[in-house]
């Protein structure tokens, strides 16, 4: 009996210690492998969060608003970004060979929303080309003058000269814009003036001679 017991192999030994050791090794190896993959996934997730982030392109749009006060008018070129009708009074002086044209234009400008003075006559030789003068000491005058010139089809705009070339040598109180209505625009409506931008015409049945001054009614 003693010889039979001592002749057993280790796997047959009571308690199975070698088999338990093998299982522990396998479990350990599996744990190490699983831990490796878990650690690798965590590391990949950490790197991918920044490297795979999509790039967003943003486009900004700049909006430009035109200020009506910056409307400018030059001879032959008219920019109409808006009309300025308030801030000063507009007076029309007849410097053409026609009669009653300053009063007619005054009425039309009033209908467009401008504050107008009494129609008057200019002094000196008659003008072939109309011009709009503005008072440079009045901060609103140039913008209003530009608006009047625009409606008239783009006539020149200039600072008020001295002496002022109107009857009596001065404009009405509060006037910052003076329209010198010459033969090119005399007798025309504002609609006709706008259609005749850049052209110069002589009032029907009239003639202008340099150095010759005639008297006409405003």
Q: Can you give the pLDDT at residue 16?
A: 52
- Exposure class string for 26-44: b at 16+ Cβ within 10 A, else e: eeeeeeeeeeeeeeeeeee
171 secondary structure, DSSP code: P
72-195 has CATH 3.40.50.300 classification: no
How confident is residue 217, by pLDDT bands cut at 50, 70 and 90? Answer: confident
Q: Can you give the pLDDT at residue 21?
A: 78
DSSP H helical ranges for 52-140: 101-111
Give ∠ CA 129-134-136 in degrees, rounded to 5.
140
How confident is residue 18, by pLDDT bands cut at 50, 70 and 90? Answer: low
More confident residue, 104 or 65: 104
**The most confident of 15-29, 60-74, 174-188, by mean pLDDT:** 174-188
Please say whether the beta carbons of 123 and 178 come within 8 A.
no
Q: What are the domain boundaries of the chain?
A: 72-195
Question: pLDDT tens digit string along 74-90?
Answer: 443 434 458 999 999 99
Q: What is the mean pLDDT of residues 138-164?
A: 96
Q: Whose CA is closest to 105, among 76, 155, 148? A: 148
Query: Is the confidence at residue 1, as pLDDT, over 60?
Result: no
Q: Can you give the pLDDT at residue 205?
A: 35
Token pair in block for residue 188: 């025309």
Query: Is the confidence at residue 12, as pLDDT, over 60?
Result: no
Q: Can you give the pLDDT at residue 64?
A: 45
Q: Can you give the pLDDT at residue 198?
A: 43
Q: What is the mean pLDDT of residues 201-212?
A: 37
Please say whether the beta carbons of 166 and 178 come within 8 A.
yes
More confident residue, 174 or 197: 174
Question: pLDDT tens digit string along 24-69?
Answer: 888 888 888 888 878 777 776 665 554 445 555 554 444 544 444 4
């Amino acid at each position: 009996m003693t010889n039979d017991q001592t002749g057993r192999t280790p796997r047959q030994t009571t308690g199975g210690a070698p088999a338990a050791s093998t299982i522990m090794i396998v479990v350990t190896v599996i744990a190490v492998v699983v831990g490796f993959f878990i650690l690798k996934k965590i590391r990949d997730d950490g790197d991918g969060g920044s490297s795979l982030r999509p790039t967003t392109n943003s486009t900004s749009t700049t909006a430009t608003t035109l200020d009506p006060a910056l409307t400018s008018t030059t001879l032959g070129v008219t920019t109409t970004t808006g009309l300025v009708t308030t801030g000063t009074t507009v007076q029309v002086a007849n410097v053409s060979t026609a009669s009653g044209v300053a009063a007619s234009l005054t009425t039309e400008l009033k209908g467009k929303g401008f504050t107008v003075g009494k129609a008057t006559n200019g002094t000196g030789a008659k003008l072939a080309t109309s011009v709009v003068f503005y008072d440079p000491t009045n901060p609103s005058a140039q913008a209003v003058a530009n608006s009047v010139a625009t409606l008239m089809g783009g006539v020149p705009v200039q600072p008020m000269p001295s002496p002022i070339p109107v009857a009596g040598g001065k404009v009405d109180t509060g006037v910052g814009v003076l329209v010198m209505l010459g033969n090119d625009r005399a007798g025309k409506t504002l609609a006709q003036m706008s259609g005749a931008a850049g052209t110069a015409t002589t009032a029907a049945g009239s003639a202008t001679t340099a150095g010759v001054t005639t008297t006409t009614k405003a």
